Amino acid sequence: MLKGVCGLLYSDLIFIYGFLPITILITFLDRSTEYKNLILVLTSIVFFTFGRPMIVLLLFTTVIFDYLFGLLAGYGKNKWLRNLGFVCSIVMNSSLYIVFCWNSLFKNLGIEHLTFANKLIPLGIAFYTLRGISYVGDVYKKRIKPEKNIFCLFTYMVSYHFMIVGPIVRYGDVSEQIRKRTITGQNLNDGLNRFIIGFAKVMILGLSFEKIKAAGLNLNELTPFGAWVGMLAFIGSIYFVFTGYTDMALGLGTLNGFKYKENFSPIYLSGYVSGIVKGFNKLLTEFFEDFLVAPYKTNKVKYISGILLSGILIGLWYGFSQNFLIFGLYFAFLVLIEKLFLKRILDMLPKIVGYVYTLLAVFMGAAIAYFARLEDFLRWFKALFGIGTDYWWSVNMRNKTLSYLFLAIIGVLIMIPKVKEVIILNLSDFSKKSEKNYAVMRISQTVGICLLLVMATASSVTA
Amino acid sequence: MSKKRKKKLNNSQAEVYNRKTDLKNNQKKPDDYDYKNAVYPDNSSLKVPPKGNETASLEGDAVLRKIGKDAVVGEYNFINVAVVFILIMIMGISFALLRNNGEYIENNNKISTETVLNGKFTKKLSKNYMKRLPGKQLLFDTHRVFSYAYGLAGFNDEKGFVSVDTGKIIGIKTYDEPIMVTITTTAPPTTTQYTGKTTNTTRKLKGSLFVGPGQLTTTAKTKKTTTKKTTAKTTSASVPTTTTFTGTTWSFRGTTTWRTTTVKTSAHTTEPPTIYTPPQATTANTTVGFEDEEQ
């Protein structure tokens, strides 16, 4: 779970019980948006330098360059200048990304002066660089006007709300809100609730799946049961950690009066792999699709190359290793063949075939991402069918599965959109019946949120 | 008064009467309050239902209804925010002040321009915060209580490990970091340094439906062992229990694991032992350490 990351995280207790309430209180001292932006920038600086040297702040100077490149890409006298602005932004931000996120590359190549200690690698640098490119790119494509006020751009670039697990907010979506926003009681209510639900997702559900995964995929005692359930638990853990952190980010945004786009759509198996790829971390997928796929829809060769290149880049964005490269290519390939012919075939077959195909495809994709070494992957793959294993399951695996059985079931139910819809519909119907019901529902909600907060805090301390 | 005029008056009186009774009914039954569009958990889709050709007063009623609804929703929002925020504040203040009055800064974390600039101050602050968190035991216990609702096995595998022999939980009563326990079993010293068979006998646990690595089964697994003869006299010899380990890992607090195995050794001695060896040398239920669970 965000291994190797040092500094402040949303799920840290010092953030939830120290940083966050202080920030909220300070923000409410004045109603003007300028003041709120100033507080946001200052608190973001504290957030990013927490446990790290202040020198990482030097990185924020790239905002000045993005600002200038944006002006060039938007107001350049001729196309050549506009192209130059966009290309410069891509080069600068990609270089930053490679230097910081793929730092192991320099270590392996023996380039010592580019090898940084972990504490010098800023938190959320991957999102930061993508935001820089997306801003200049949107200006270049004339989707938005270049920002003339550098402070507004600075607020957008350094805001800690979406620095850890996204969402990748486009400047066009928030530029108005940066200039003028109000924080209502509804904002506070929704923001707090969402933040705590996200915290509970990460610390209760994510952690439970993580423990089942660790027991099941322990290479020292691989068993068929462990191999199957462990990989499913890995998918669950990834899902809840990502959606949890995103919920926390969106909640923080709402608390500050922002309204960001959703980053995760409900998972419908009827959309096959393409649907899942589009729905999972969808703002990231949209970003690459916008720049690499959408402009080339008329040219088949460019279109196919665009999809494959997007897959590779998304894979490498998740992690700089060969397994992530294969992971990206694997999903890009599946999306491609679905677009070309597979979807039509699957639509003709019984629905269950499509569901099984999608589940298996995601299952294998997760395994590709999980195992960094091919031999480990092969051992796991054989273990799925009982090859090379003496036992069906291990004691540890049994204990972990039983210990978190109810949570795992709840987690799976949450992941199924239809179940979620039915529950929400029933609750909604119940609350509509009378004022009393509505009151019961709202009070239960408050009690539930408090309970989740305490449970997640306790789980966080134990973890 | 003409008949037409009389009729008109009666109609308008009836209308007024009807409206009054409507109003009374509304007052009598607060549950009839229009919650048709109220949704849980927020009021984002609250709308005034369109009612066709209404009089101005009815429109006014609808607006009032909407304001009323908003007020109710706002009230609950306020309660929710207040309760949650107060809870956060109470926990936050107690975490920060309850036990460690200024300890974060005074003890080993001096605030200076240098420590702030190089990030050491905040790093230590964060470390100390977690280390000296007041009510840690309470939070552990809270987690323990909640964890019974997480699954069937409750907190068992979190708190200790299951004894292979008895099938019971061996509880670890402290929440401190576990100490690595390495018990090496020693065999009677012999001139012939440990020969013979090493058997990993296992039996199935009562009531368990599975057989896993490290589990004891009735059908004993026997592995061939090599015989190594030494001519030199030894005063003591250690029989390594790394023989046929097919151990399982037992989790403790999710990150640390133990390996538990039962190793039956049969030592063949040709000479009487020169040094006293403890009785557990022959049959040892050995905990041979722990390893990191994360790969």
CB–CB of A392/A224 below 8 Å?
yes
The nearest CA of chain A is from the CA of B262 a distance in Å of 15
A453 or A294, which is more confident? A453
In angstroms, rounded to a whole number, what is the distance separating the alpha carbons of residues A206 and A239? 8
Domain assignment present for residue B106? The answer is no
Asked if the structure places residue B242 within a domain, the reply is yes
**B1 lies in a domain?**
no
Instruction: Supply angle C-alpha A73, A75, A77, rounded to 5.
Output: 100
Over residues B240-248, the mean pLDDT reads 37
Q: Are residues B166 and B81 in the same domain?
A: no
Average pLDDT over residues A1-22: 76
Give the C-alpha separation, A127 to A144, whole Å. 20
**How is chain B classified by DSSP, letter by letter?**
--HHHHHHHHHHHHHHHHHHHHHHHHHH-GGGS--TT--SS--TT--PPP-SS--HHHHHHHHHHHHHHHHHHHHHHHHHHHHHHHHHHHHHHHHHHSS-TTHHHHSS----HHHHHTTHHHHHHHHHHHHT-TTHHHHHHHHHHHHTTTSSSTTHHHHEEE-TTT--EEE----SPPPP-----EEPP-SS-S-S-EEE---PPTT-----TT---SS-EEE--------S--S-EE--S-SS---EEEEETTTEEEEEEEEEE----SS--SS---GGGTEEEEEEEEEES--
From the CA of A96, how many Å to the nearest CA of chain B? 22
**DSSP label of A110:** T
Domain boundary among B57, B89, B121: B89
- In degrees, to the nearest 5, what angle opens at C-alpha A173 toward C-alphas A247 and B41? 40
**Chain A nearest CA to B65, separation (Å):** 13
CA distance B214 to B260: 7
Cis amide prior to A167 (ω within 30 degrees): yes
Tallying the residues shown for chain A, one arrives at: 463
Asked if A399 contacts A229 with a C-beta cutoff of 8 angstroms, the reply is no
The predicted structure's pLDDT at residue B9:
55
Chain A touched by B148 (CB under 8 Å)? no
Please report which residue ranges of A201-321 form alpha helices under DSSP H.
207-216, 224-255, 272-279, 282-288, 300-318
Averaged pLDDT for residues A444-455? 93
Minimum distance, in Å, between the CA of residue B1 and any CA atom of chain A? 48
* Domain range enclosing B37: 17-89
The first and second tokens of residue A245, run together, are 């952190």
Q: Is there a contact between B87 and A453 if contact means CB atoms under 8 Å apart?
A: yes
Q: Give me Rg for the CA atoms of chain B.
A: 38
User: For B109-165, what is each residue's pLDDT tens digit?
Assistant: 677 788 888 888 888 888 778 777 777 777 888 888 888 888 776 544 444 444 444
Counting Cα atoms < 13 Å in the Cβ hemisphere of A174 gives: 28
Report yes or no on B37 lying in a domain. yes
Which residues, numbered 165 to 224 in chain B, qualify as contacts with chain A under a Cβ-Cβ cut-off of 8 Å?
208, 210-215
- Looking at the structure of chain B, the number of domains it has is 2
Determine the Cα–Cα distance for residues B52 and B49; give it in Å rounded to an integer.
Answer: 9
At B157 the pLDDT is 45
**Domain boundary pick from B64, B89, B114:** B89
The residues that bridge with B162 in the sheet, in sequence order, are B169
B24 lies in some domain? yes
Interface residue of B27, B36, B77, B113 to substitute, partner A, most A CBs within 10 Å: B77
Q: Which of A8, A218, A461 is the best mutation test for B, with the most CBs of B within 10 A?
A: A461
Both B175 and B81 in a single domain?
no
In the predicted model, is pLDDT for residue B190 greater than 80? no
Share of chain B above pLDDT 70, in %: 28
Is residue B25 one of the residues assigned to a domain? yes
Same domain, B194 and B73: no
Q: Would you call A159 helix, strand, or coil by DSSP?
A: coil
Closest CB to A218 among B42, B91, B295: B295
Distance in angstroms (rounded) separating the CA atoms of residues A142 and A217: 49
Q: Residue B234 region, left (φ>0) first, then alpha (ψ -120 to 50), else beta?
A: beta
Chain A residue closest in CA terms to B117: A54
Chain A interface includes B130 (CB < 8 A): yes
In a domain, B124, yes or no: no
Cβ contact A431–B139 (<8 Å): no
Across-strand partners of B223? B198
Does one domain contain both B75 and B166? no
Q: In degrees rounded to 5, what are phi and psi of residue B172? A: -110, 115
Q: Which residues of B touch A53 (CB under 8 A)?
A: 117-119
Q: Average pLDDT for residues B233-247, to the nearest whole number? A: 37
pLDDT at B51 over 60: no
Do B197 and B291 lie in a common domain? yes
Question: What's the pTM value of the predicted model, to 2 decimals?
Answer: 0.72
Which stretch, A22-31, A92-101, B80-89, has highest mean pLDDT? B80-89
What single letter denotes the amino acid at residue A407? L
d(CA A376, CA A388) in angstroms, rounded, equals: 12
| ipTM computed for the complex | 0.85
Q: Residue B41's closest CA among A248, A24, A197, A418?
A: A197
- Higher pLDDT, residue B47 or A25: A25
Residue where a domain stops, chosen among B89, B104, B131? B89
Q: In the predicted model, is pLDDT for residue A370 greater than 90?
A: yes
- Looking up tokens 């270089």 gives A95
User: Is residue B196 very low, low, confident or very high in pLDDT (cuts 50, 70, 90)?
Assistant: very low
Q: Is residue B194 part of a domain?
A: yes
Q: Looking at CA atoms only, how far is residue B132 from chain A in angstroms?
A: 11
Mark yes or no for CB contact A396/B250 under 8 Å. Answer: yes
Sign of CA dihedral A409, A412, A414, A418: negative
Give the separation between CA B85 and CA B178, rounded to whole angstroms: 36
| Residue of A53, A435, A442 with shortest CB distance to B80 | A442
pLDDT digits (tens, 9 = 90+) for A248-270: 999 999 998 898 888 888 888 88
Helix (H) or strand (E) holding A165: none
Say whether residue B86 is in contact with chain A using an 8 A CB cutoff. Answer: no
Task: Evaluate if residue A87 carries a pLDDT over 50.
Answer: yes
Query: What pLDDT shows up at residue B6?
Result: 58
Q: How many of the other CB atoms lie within 10 Å of CB of A77?
A: 8
All residues of chain B having their beta carbon less than 8 Å from the beta carbon of residue A404 are 150-151
In this predicted structure, the answer to whether residue A354 has a pLDDT above a threshold of 50 is yes
Provide the pLDDT for residue B33.
Answer: 42
CB A44 within 8 A of CB A128: no
Average pLDDT over residues A223-247: 92
- List, in sequence order, every residue forming a beta bridge with B264; answer none if it has no partner: B199, B283
Identify which of A188, A211, A458 has the shortest CB distance to residue B146.
A458
User: Do residue A449 and residue B84 have CB atoms under 8 angstroms apart?
Assistant: yes
Q: What is the number of CB-based contacts under 8 A between chain A and chain B?
A: 248
In A, minimum Cα distance to B155 occurs at A403
Nearest of A206, A232, A202, A242 to residue A397 by alpha carbon: A232
CB nearest B92 (choices: A17, A394, A449): A17
